Structure 1
Amino acid sequence: MPRRVDHEERRRQITDACRRVVARDGLEAATFQRVAADAGVSVRLVQYYFGNKHGLLVATHRAVIEGSARRFGGDAPGVVSESEPPPLRAVLRAVLAALLPLDDARRADAVVLAAFHAAALTNEAVTPEELRGAPRALADLVAAQLRRARDDDAGPGEGPAPDEAARLDAEVVLASAAGLTQGVLAGHVTGETALAVVDRLLDHLVGADAGGRVSGTS
């Protein structure tokens, strides 16, 4: 009986290969031939799943963003806990730390995202509109974490956390992560300094009480 093909797994195999090629040699190097060789599959198979290079690049960008989301959407310690939800500051710090290029895997992903961003600025290979959906989904996930943490920290009768406040603070978090990421990649900022900046940002954004719990923003 022929083996059943897991199409999602095969797509991940190919987009992972594309990520490696772009991280090593840049966006222009991500040809079907190079990606297929790195993935250990045929060029025809890459074409079957993605149609053309443009489709492969857009899918690869989405895969990188989704990988970042998984780091703090459940895989990152301290972000999600069913028995005892973490305080807001712990949520924000875990999100920022998960997004910073502080290890080889995150550094490679940051290089890939920077390559896509540069290409989109000049409409080469991809356009800004095509890349907008994945970061918006990431912002939605951060905002959802913030709302959950604030709802858990709210006292009786205070009501749910405002959606708009969570959305704006999510944008602050992601913008800060983007700036720090560029600094770390360029060697202008060390990982240690980046985390110190994160703590400084959180001091201003949410503060902390003596017991380590945080107060909500106004």
Structure 2
Amino acid sequence: MPRLADHEERRRSITGAARRVIARGGLDAATFQSVAVEAGVSVRSVQYYFGTKREFLLATHRAVVEDSGTRMTQGFAALGPDAGPRDIVRTILLAILPLDEPSRRDAVILGIFHAATLTGPDVESADTVQAPNFIVDAVAGQLRQLRGPGADEQTLVADAEVILLAVGGLAQGMLTNDDYASRATQLVDHLLDRVLVA
């Protein structure tokens, strides 16, 4: 009796193919046909699993974000139970930086999606804000712990936003500037020294 297809595995295979296509040629290159060829499946399979180009693009974006989440989870596990707010924020930030080849490719893809929210019809800014909002909330939560219950909520959120924007800029800079790439963790530590004050 033939084994039933693992639908989640097939979806991951297709979004993995879409990531490779997007990293090489941008969102315009990611068609049903090009992704099907890259994944080694039929165009009909891509359509079956995702329905529209927009659906498979958003699923691909989610897959990239989930990989960052996995890196965060692994980083948290390495920290241990006694980690303080600085260690936790540092782990979050390092998980979103392109520090190795897979995360570098993901940063390229996220940059392409960001550009598409400005110029293309397939992706809107509302489609991509969930992950940055999560990071801002997580960093603000650690700042709240560090600064205590009397801390001003607006300041906490603004500081968390500044941290995310700075590291997002660093991530994009690392893609084209080897000096930034070589000093990324030092620059993150410098940022935290400046912002993570009680």
CA distance in 1, matches of 2:124, 2:157: 25
Structure 1: which amino acid aligns with 2:98?
P
Structure 2 residues not aligned, in runs of 5+: none
Q: Which residue of 2 aligns with 1:90?
A: 87
Residue 76 of structure 1 corresponds to 75
Q: 1:7 to 1:138 in 2, by over 3 A?
A: farther
Q: What are structure 1's unaligned runs of at least 5 residues?
A: 208-216
Match in the other structure for 2:127: 130
**Two-structure CA RMSD over aligned residues (Å):** 2.7
Q: CA deviation at 1:3?
A: 1.6
Counting aligned pairs with the same residue, the percent is 47
Structure 1 residue runs of 4 or more that deviate by more than 3 Å after TM superposition: 77-80, 137-144, 158-170
Residue aligned with 1:41, SS: coil
1:121 equivalenced with 2:118 (yes/no): yes
Q: What corresponds to 1:6 in structure 2? A: 6
What is the correspondence of 1:38-187 to structure 2 with a 5 Å cutoff?
Answer: 38-72=38-72, 74-76=73-75, 81=80, 84-143=81-140, 146=142, 150=145, 167-187=157-177
Whether the aligned pair in 2 keeps the contact of 1:92 and 1:173 (CA below 8 Å) is no
Distance 1:169 1:8 in 2: 38
TM-score (norm 2): 0.85
Aligned position for 2:21: 21
Count of residues in Structure 1 that have an aligned counterpart in Structure 2: 198
Instruction: Report which of the two has the higher share of helix.
Output: 2
- Give 1:64 deviation, angstroms: 1.0
Partner of 1:213: none
Contact 1:180 1:189 in 2 (8 A): no
Per the alignment, residue 205 of structure 1 pairs with 195
Closer, same or farther: CA 164–41 of 1 in aligned 2, 3 Å:
farther
After superposition, the Cα gap between the structure-2 partners of 1:160 and 1:18, relative to the gap in structure 1 and judged at 3 Å, is: farther
**In the aligned structure 1, how far is the partner of 2:50 from the partner of 2:114?**
21
Distance 2:94 2:131 in 1: 19
SS at match of 1:75: helix
Whether the aligned pair in 1 keeps the contact of 2:26 and 2:112 (CA below 8 Å) is: yes
CA contact (8 A) 2:23 2:105 kept: yes
Q: Residue type matched to 1:39 in 2?
A: A
Q: Spell out, residue by residue over 1:151-201, the C-alpha distance to the aligned partner (whole angstroms, 9 max, x if none).
A: xx79xxx66988766544432332122110111112164323222211111
Contact 1:68/1:99, CA 8 A, preserved across alignment: yes
